[in-house]
A = this chain, B = another copy of it.
Amino acid sequence: MKRHFAELSHAQWADEKYLCVGLDPDLSRIPDVVRRGSASETICAFNRAIVDATADLAGAYKPNSAFFESQGSAGWDALKETIAYIHEVAPSVPVILDCKRGDIGSTNLGYVAAAFDDLRADSITVHPYLGKEALAPFLDRADKGIFVLCRTSNAGSSMFQDLVVDGMPLYQKVAQSVSNEWNVHMNCGLVVGATYPQELRSVRTIAPEIPILIPGIGTQGGDLEQSVKNGLNAKGEGILVSVSRSLLYASTGDNFADAARSYAQTLHSEIKAAAIR
């Protein structure tokens, strides 16, 4: 059966799963117990352990390509192997490739081939700066999820994203464009950091339906309860609350996988509690 991001996501939400596990394998922080002969083997072993520990809790996985690319082509192989492992162990859980791409249209075909054909991701993150026309190769993929950066979680995201255009901040203009114009195939999403819960509320008002990927929980200090309340759509779904470092490195000891699972369970419960309140 052909995988379809929107269908996979809806099934996860129907199962009350809103937690997105971000896979940011940082070699300097991976516990000794999973270290192998090469960097890429270590990364794969670590990711497998994290996936095994969270497969029944995660509503999505989000490998960030930067952590793999830093290891060169072996890192690329590790990324591909990690995604294949998720498809094997948790076939109903969608994989969002967090690679923040965006070039002119003809060139984006290469990124589409890389993300969806070679790596077999179900979804991707993209920059909005080049506009809808350039992103057509992504947007044309009705079977994939296209998450457009809107209000990013970093401390300095206001620099351009808060500039006022047409009477609203740029990030709201992006949200409006994506929700009203880009979402022809019902495959678009937005990225809004949990570090900006009020901005998240305004994005949900502008874009009442579409999925919002919400990074910034944990290390970055995002507000989980407010993010859940402000991010859910009227159906009580449509969010993926993403956590990476604080889950992956909850313990750096031999018990790291148990610690990651325990942390995921806590978040899973907290998100569910916030969602029904």
Contacts and interface: CB of A to CB of B under 8 A. Distances in A.
B160 A69 contact: no
Interface residues of A, number: 60
Interface string A59-76: 000001011111111111
B170 A160 contact: yes
A149 interface: yes
B153 A104 contact: yes
A118 interface: yes
Given A24-B107, A111-B69, A173 B160 contact: yes
B100 A103 contact: yes
**Total identical chains:** 2
B70 A73 contact: no
Interface in A98-117: 98, 100-105, 107-111, 113-114, 117
A170 B105 CA distance: 21
A103 B62 CA distance: 14
By Cβ-Cβ distance, the 6 closest A-B pairs, closest first, are A133-B156, A66-B110, A131-B159, A69-B114, A163-B165, A70-B113
